[in-house]
Structure 1
Amino acid sequence: MPLNVKVTLVTLVVALLVVNISIYDKEQHLAHGQVVYLELAPVDPRSLMQGDYMALRFQLQQKVYQALPKTVPDESRPWRQAITVADGLAVVKLDERKVATFEALYEDQPLAENELLLQYRVRHGRIKFATNAFYFQEGHAGLYQDARYGRFRVDEQGELLLVGLNDEALNVLTSLPD
C-alpha cells in the first residue's frame, strides 16, 4: 500500500476517533450533568422571535458583567467601560427549584453545598453563557413565547449545555432528551 494512502487512512481514523470521543463526552454531559435553570432576561419582543430561533439573554449575564473589573478606554467618554478580563467562572447559588442566582466571581474560594461553578465567556465586551440562541422548528415560535428559564446541564468544570426552555413554573416548553 502506498505511503500516501496509509497516511490518509490513519488521518481518517484519527479524525473519526476525535469526533466520536467528542460526541460521547457531550452525551455523558447531557446524561449526567446537574440540572440548572437560568432566568431569561427580557428582550425586545420584536427581536425575541427571529425566524427559526429565539435570541437568548440571561439575568446572570448582567450580574457577572457588574462584578468584573473594567477600564475606561477613552477619558473623554467615561461611560464607555471595557471589561479587563476574559473567560472565567461564576459562583452561583441554587434554590430549592435549582434556579441559579449569582453569588460571586470564582477566585479559588470553597463552595457551599448549594453552590456550583458556571463557565462564562467574554465576547466583544459581552458576557456569554453556553449559547445566545435557541433554535426551533419553523412555525413553532408560539410554543416558546412563555419561556422564562433556560434549562441546562452542567458538568464538573462548569460547562453548560442548553437542553430546553421552561415557563415561570418550570414546566417544560421544549426538551432535548435528558
Structure 2
Amino acid sequence: MRRGIALVTALAILVLVNFSIYEKEQHLAQGEIMYLELAPVDPRSLMQGDYMTLRFEIGNQIRDAVGSNGPADSEREEISEGYAVVRLDERGVAHFVRLAASNTALEDNQRALFFRHRNGRILFATNAFFFQEGQAERYEAARYGRFRVNEEGEPLLVGLHDEGLVRLDPVDG
C-alpha cells in the first residue's frame, strides 16, 4: 500500500515537473521579443564571480511611479506585484507608459509587463545573468536584456545585447 502511494506521488511529481518544463519551452519559443534597457549598477556589483547583477532602467521608472501613486511611504502598503504598461519602439525596446492593475485594456502598440516589488527594488524574471567562467569581459558591453514575454506579461530573460542590439554570445574556448 505504501509503495503504491509512493509510486503515485512520484509519478504526479514527474508529470508536474515535465509540464512546467513544457510551459517554459513554449514561453521561450512563442513569447514576444522585448528589450529592456539595463540601468547602471555599482561597478563592484557588475561582475561577481560568474554572474552579472542586473537592474533595468524601466524598473527605476516603475519604482518612481509606484512611489508617486499614493500616500507617503510610512502610510502606504508596499505593492508586491503588478503590471507596467510599456510601448515598444521600432527596435522592440520597451518604454514605460503607466502602471496597470491587469494586463488588459491596452492600445495596439502597448504591452503589459509583469513585475514584482521587493525590498524597494522592481524585479522582472531575474536580477542576475549567469555565464561561463572567464567570459566576464564579453558581457561588459551589455546595454539591453532580451526577454520573451508571454500573453500573461511574464518575461523570461534569454540574453544580453549591446547598444546596437547585437547579442553578446559566449566565446567558445
User: TM-score if structure 2 supplies the norm length?
Assistant: 0.91
Match of 1:23 among 12, 21, 30: 21
Residue in 1 aligned with 2:49? 51
Residue in 2 aligned with 1:63? 61
CA–CA separation in structure 1 for the residues paired with 2:7 and 2:124: 38
Deviation at 1:46, TM superposition (A): 2.4
Q: Is the CA contact 1:83–1:125 (under 8 Å) kept in the aligned structure 2?
A: no
Deviation at 1:126, TM superposition (A): 1.6
CA–CA separation in structure 2 for the residues paired with 1:98 and 1:16: 37
Residue in 2 aligned with 1:91? 85
Residue in 2 aligned with 1:79? none
Residue in 2 aligned with 1:41? 39
Q: Is the CA contact 2:82–2:101 (under 8 Å) kept in the aligned structure 1?
A: no
Q: Is the CA contact 2:81–2:117 (under 8 Å) kept in the aligned structure 1?
A: yes
What aligned pairs does 1:71-86 form with structure 2 within 5 A after superposition?
71-73=72-74, 84-86=78-80
Residue in 2 aligned with 1:122? 117
SS in 2 for 1:60: helix
Does the alignment pair 1:131 with 2:126? yes
Shift in CA distance, 56/83, structure 1 to aligned 2, threshold 3 Å? farther
CA–CA separation in structure 1 for the residues paired with 2:82 and 2:73: 21
Q: Report sequence identity in percent.
A: 54
Query: Mind listing any 5+ residue stretches in structure 2 that lack a counterpart?
Result: none
CA–CA separation in structure 2 for the residues paired with 1:136 and 1:54: 8
Deviations 1:4-47 (A, max 9, x none): 00000000000000000000000000000000000000112222
The code of the aligned residue for 2:158 comes to V
Does the alignment pair 1:168 with 2:163? yes
The code of the aligned residue for 1:156 comes to E
CA–CA separation in structure 1 for the residues paired with 2:156 and 2:115: 12
Match of 2:94 among 96, 100, 105: 100
CA–CA separation in structure 2 for the residues paired with 1:140 and 1:61: 26
4+ residue runs over 6 A deviation? none
The code of the aligned residue for 1:160 comes to P
Output the aligned Cα RMSD.
1.6
CA–CA separation in structure 2 for the residues paired with 1:127 and 1:33: 21
The code of the aligned residue for 2:115 comes to Y
Larger radius of gyration: 1
Deviation at 1:83, TM superposition (A): 5.9
Q: What is the total number of aligned residue pairs between the two structures?
A: 166
